[in-house]
A and B are shown apart, each in its own frame.
Chain A
Amino acid sequence: MPEETPVIEIADLRFAWKRGAQPVLNIASLQVNRGERVFLRGPSGSGKSTLLNLLAGVATPQSGVLKVMGQDMNALRSAQRDHFRAHHIGFIFQMFNLIPYLSVVENVTLPCRFSSKRKHKVLAQADSLEQEAIRLLDHLDMAHSDVLHKPVNELSVGQQQRVAAARALIGSPELVIADEPTSSLDADRRTAFIDLLFRECDNANATLIFVSHDNSLVAPFERTIEFDQLNSAASDKQPKLHAVS
């Protein structure tokens, strides 16, 4: 597969949370190709989370082009966007990634409940969802029986983030988005976690968008995008972000 296959294409994108309000996002152009590992750097509150919501199809831009995997997100109805997200995107959040009442394995296989595509991808390679979950957890050094059977809220933060990584990767989604996934980890754990993430994304041939404001993590990434330069709305001193609650 040629390197130039675009996974994300953005052109003249504008987005405001309310119609008529000042735009939170104003992105002239952005392209991310298949297999790229991109570090998206920006201070918190600069609209990064809003961009992630757009990529995920939770919101749609008021104007401009946003294509994920060549699919124009504006052309999809909201239910279709929800399906699209389930099929093609894996997410890792800053913290509290896990559903407290599900076991470790159930947390990892959660995306397969919502995406038949990812479920079939898993079953094409493995005998069962559980088997694949344990394989991924094993890669992340999390397949010990004492860890597997612990209630998830008794796991350490580092362990929780690794379970979240396994969940983002199951069923080989084309795009993995990690939103400050290491901010609650200590320094040694951070590098170890990023190494794991890289390895697994390579295995799955997934594109990785890694969002952070932490400059110390930039080194291993082949491409860095400064969010302030990307988003011209942020430089307009736009104080009202999408804070709703």
Chain B
Amino acid sequence: MAILGLAIKSFRNRKFTTGLTVLSIALSVMLLLGIEKIRQGAETSFTSTISGTDLIVGARSSPVQLLLYSVFHIGNPSNNISGHSYEEIRDHPQVEWAIPLSLGDSHKGYRVVGTTVQFYQHYRFARGQQLQLEQGQWFGEGYETAVGAEVAAAIGYNTGDQIIVAHGSGDESFITHKDKPFRVAGILKRTGTPVDRAVYVGLKSIDSIHQGFDGDEHDHDPLMAHDDHAGETEQGSLSAILLGLKSRGAALSMQRSINEDDHEPLTAIMPGVVLLEVWQMMSVVEKILMVVSGLVVVVGLFSMLIILMTSLNERRREMAILRSVGARPAHVFVLIMGEAVFLTLLAIGLGFAMVYGLMVLLQPWLESAFGLYVVISWPNTTELMLLMLIAICGFVVGLIPGIRIYRYSLADGMTIRV
């Protein structure tokens, strides 16, 4: 078609300004798609912070609070679970495994989690991934610890180093268990989850450091009650229990029976459900991000409109020449409109290529540094809808100068007014 060749040549003639327009729209497309990709990645990462665990049990509290302190190490339990209840739940016929968690101590601002080897064996995150050790081994009996990747990196621990656990969760605690230093037995591989930011010690050793204070070296605040480690029996009290059931289908009835337990007020939650609830509470931020990047696209399209409109007056001459050699007003319309369509499609293509290019480049870094797993896959329907929407907006933007030049060419005919 005669007009197509002209449109391409006209574009080439103004390639610098139009190139910049294409680039600005492409960048906005990249931003929009990139944010959408990261949002999806963040949602997936967040909602799979913990996987494979069917129920989390804690003292009676709100589900969100229980999830936050047991999985994210944010906040504190309002009460503990008695050792008796733990044993009862652990021995329940439906329960395949139970991971006891005892919180309350910290090390240089990182949580110290008292647990058992069950944690290493059964804890799953992301898409059912198991914990792995970067070096050394999981802690055994005695004063040994396995530290999360971020803790090890931030403080610079290697296996064999000694660490001292502090009582309470503050960064600067005055009450330390200096008499019982722990030896770093292993360092966990990075998971991109809160596991990286915790220090894991044996449940028995954490009980014993609280039991074993002797008077002379006692730098313990005598006024501070030891509620969170109370009940000095074989099995001390716990902060939370992670449960794996023999069949997932039993989760609901198990949850109900724990919630309705008469002996002790307990709360059981399904982590997946509560994770999604928490994510949705944060969805405002995500929506604001989308709106902002949408506005950036609008700004990009406006710059195209401005470029097309400012070139319109000088192009009226060109249109009169084309009319004189037989072009119809429709041709003239298509020439301008086609340019807008061409620029928009080019920008979408370029933005698309940039997003995927960046994703390929940054994917390993995003995963190791933020635990953000961005899936490189063909665009899903949301993304395609976004691209379609941008394309349609581009066409609409092209209509404005297109209709204008159409009117001009009807009125001007071949009379060139300079």
A residues with CB within 8 A of B: 49, 52-53, 56, 58-59, 78-79, 82-83, 85-87, 91, 93-102, 106, 110-111, 113-115, 167, 242, 244-245
Contact = CB atoms under 8 A, between A and B. Distances in A.
Interface of B: 2, 5-6, 9-10, 12-14, 317-318, 320-328, 408, 411-418
Contacts of A87: 326
B413 A59 contact: yes
B414 A83 contact: no
B417 A78 contact: no
Contacts of A113: 2, 5-6, 325
Nearest to B1: A113
A115 B322 CA distance: 12
Contacts of A242: 415
Contacts of B417: 245
Given A79-B328, A101-B13, A96 B416 contact: yes
A99 B413 contact: no
Contacts of A245: 408, 411-412, 417
A97 B328 contact: no
Given A94-B416, A99-B321, A83 B326 contact: yes
Nearest to B330: A79
Contacts, number: 78
B415 to A, nearest CB: 5
A58 B413 contact: yes
Contacts of A100: 13, 318
Nearest to A244: B411
B327 A114 contact: yes
Given A99-B6, A115-B326, 7 more contacts: A53-B414, A56-B324, A56-B414, A85-B326, A99-B318, A102-B6, A114-B327
A160 B212 CA distance: 102
Closest 6 pairs (CB-CB, A-B): A86-B326, A101-B13, A114-B326, A58-B413, A113-B2, A91-B324
Contacts of A93: 320-321, 324, 414, 416
A44 to B, nearest CB: 11
Nearest to B8: A101
Contacts of A49: 415
B325 A110 contact: yes
B264 to A, nearest CB: 83
Contacts of B2: 113-114
B321 A56 contact: no
A115 B6 CA distance: 15
A82 B326 contact: yes
Contacts of B324: 56, 85, 91, 93
A93 B322 CA distance: 12
Contact of A58 (B9, B321, B323): B323
